[in-house]
Structure 1
Amino acid sequence: MLLAPGTILQRMYLKERLALLKPGFFVEIGIGDGSLSSLLCQLGWKGIGFEINEDTAEKASQSMKCYVDSGQYEVRQQNWLYNQDNLKADLIVSSMVIEHLNESEETLYFKRCESALAQSGICILLVPSSMKYWGIEDEIAGHYKRYSKETLSALMDKLGWEVSHYSSLTYPFSNILFPVSEYLVRKAEKNKLSLSMDIKTKLSGNRQVPYKTSYPKVFKLILNEKVLFPFHWLQKKFSNHPDALVAYLECKPLSKGGDVIL
């Protein structure tokens, strides 16, 4: 499976951050194609993935069959907000999830994370950022907002959480490609604009947009970490740029005590 270039850049940064953590038990919320959970399993983590879309959950189960069969990973077709299992995770991670939540759901999300985190656990969030770049992809995917460093900090303060690490990601690569992305999404998915927010959210984890979410096999020659490494270096150079299209956040509730130094 070929990942989008922006996703590859995010994964490159995430791998560097995960290298600072001892593998343990993780929960991923909104697993989509399973690529993030697969990365964690490859790094020695054991975990559970939550996904609200039945078809998406089934596809993720198949793509991660080796980890599911070995007992290292479990897919649950459930809404994380209403799960009541007594979980104690060392890591809770979500990529492009909380922007789909309204304000009350957003609060519930973090309350559920707080109850499911181990005492020394942390949350990692990847979210769309910069309202300046609000576009059709936000509209068809069921987004309520794009974040910024300031709005994320304010959200953490309101909820009684603390930020231990923040970085802007994919700048300037994704910004350069933004007009192309908008064109491809509008061409392939404009019919979704009339759908409800709930339906848009359920469909967002299983999108098929040629040259945006799916690529010919020959594209593996350019869609790889080696080719994209210069842009990985650039995204780290611009780690606080306000126009970056993705924000990366490590955080934990104050109730768990102490700063996380990573």
Structure 2
Amino acid sequence: MQFLSQLKEEGGIWYSPGTDVISYPEEGNSLCYQLEDKSYWFAHRNSCLSYLIKKYSNEGIFADVGGGNGFVSAMLQKNGHKVVLVEPGETGCLNAKKRGIENVVCARLEDIDWAEGELQNVGAFDVVEHIEDHEGFLNTIHAALAENGKLFITVPSFQYLWSKEDVDAGHYRRYTKQSMAELLSKTGFELIYDNYLFKSLHFPIYLMRTIPSKLGLRKNSPENSANEHGTEGGLMIRFINKMLKKELANVKSGKKYSLGSSLVVVAVKR
């Protein structure tokens, strides 16, 4: 991995000297680390990504950009991919090492002078919405990817689902299939797959997050996050898991959804 020559290794983590502030709450990785292993949301996203990455990815390095605590990287590493987690938050990097991620880089993607075509695959999983200049971010990914390199993205969907949750998380926007397709086209990518995920959560989010946020009634807390991610289980969580199991089967069978609280896309560098 040629890019490592620019970085300094300390405690098993590679550091870049030029990492700047990101639009993500400082405590975000710590909170997510407490939720991820017990959350139906993170589990379902990983299941869908595992299938899509196995189907569409190239051989070679897979850079998990903005990979946080390494929850996706751990799945990819377990599945035999050569993973490099690139994460600007040191807390996330330390947690990723605890998870056993072999290659952890504490940096933003743009802090590294990538050799042209050094990466065969890039994933940005719930990252792009945190980037104000999302077009510039995808241009940076495009330059680092090899010809016909693959890009995998998940983002929150539908701007009308905007809530205090988005504000507190440091989001700039939510996306639709059309807006993401236009962004990819502008930045030199060809869309090869898109779909909405978490259809069963679409209207509950509008009712329980969006409307209360508009009325000034929505308050977020670690306890609320734990409850919404179903870390304690319960009848409602069992029902949601049943719906998500069906959704995963439908994704694998090729079904496309017109609604959902998340959008997943796969694109190829052109």
Report the TM-score range of the alignment, normalised by the length of the smaller protein.
0.7 to 0.9
Say if 2:62 and 2:122, in contact at 8 Å, map to a contact too: yes
Residue 239 of structure 1 is aligned with which of 233, 256, 261? Answer: 256
C-alpha displacement of 1:170: 1.0
Amino acid in the other structure paired with 2:136: L
SS of 1:19's partner is helix
Query: Percent of aligned positions with the same letter in both sequences?
Result: 19
Give CA-to-partner distance per residue, 1:195-248, whole Å, 9 cap, x none: xxxxxxxxxxxx9932245724899x959978841243466786231x311111
Contact kept, 8 Å, 2:142 with 2:269, in 1: the verdict is yes
Please, which of 86, 103, 120 is the counterpart of residue 148 of structure 2?
Answer: 120
What's 1:150 paired with? 178
Which aligned pairs between 1:80-119 and structure 2 lie closer than 5 A? 80-86=109-115, 88-102=118-132, 105-119=133-147
Change (3 A) 1:44 1:234: closer
- Contact in 2 for aligned 1:168/1:235 (Cα 8 Å): no
Gaps of 5+ in 2: 1-35
Q: Within the alignment, does 1:12 sit opposite 2:35 as a pair?
A: no
User: 1:204 is matched with which residue?
Assistant: none
The aligned counterpart of 1:63 is 99
- Please report the TM-score for the alignment, with normalisation by the length of structure 2: 0.72
Q: Which has the higher contact order (CA 8 A, sep 6+)?
A: 1
CA contact (8 A) 1:5 1:223 kept: no
SS in 1 for 2:174: coil
Establish whether residue 210 from structure 1 lines up as the match of residue 223 from structure 2: no
1:229 partner amino acid: K
The separation in 1 between residues aligned to 2:177 and 2:171, in whole angstroms, is 18
Describe how 1:223-262 pairs up with structure 2 within 5 A: 228-233=244-249, 239-241=256-258, 243-254=259-270
SS at match of 2:139: helix
TM-align CA RMSD: 3.1
**Is the CA contact 1:173–1:231 (under 8 Å) kept in the aligned structure 2?**
no
Counterpart of 2:41 in structure 1: which amino acid?
Answer: G
Q: Secondary structure at the match of 2:225?
A: coil
Report if the CA contact (8 A) 2:176-2:263 is conserved.
yes
Distance 2:38 2:207 in 1: 19
Shift, 1:4, TM fit: 2.5
How far off is 1:101 after superposition? 1.1
| Unaligned 5+ runs, structure 1 | 69-73, 190-206, 255-262
- Matches of 1:251 and 1:115, distance apart in 2: 14
Q: Distance in 2 between matches of 1:185 and 1:33?
A: 27
Task: State the partner residue of 1:2.
Answer: 37
Distance in 2 of aligned mates of 1:174 and 1:8 = 18
- Quick one: distance in 1 between partners of 2:156 and 2:113? 28
TM-score by length of 1: 0.74
Closer/same/farther in 2, CA of residues 223 and 11 from structure 1, 3 Å limit: farther
Label 1:59 to 1:188 Cα distance change in 2 as closer, same or farther (>3 A).
Answer: same
Q: What whole-Å deviation, never above 9, does each CA across 1:35-60 have from its counterpart, x for those lacking one?
A: 10011101101121111111121111
| Corresponding position: 1:188 with 2:236 | no
Distance 1:26 1:130 in 2: 28
CA distance in 1, matches of 2:243, 2:136: 40
Query: Any conservation in 2 of the 1:23–1:44 contact (CA below 8 Å)?
Result: no
Q: CA deviation at 1:83?
A: 1.6
Report the CA distance between 1:154 and its aligned residue. Answer: 1.4
1:135 offset after TM fit, Å? 0.8
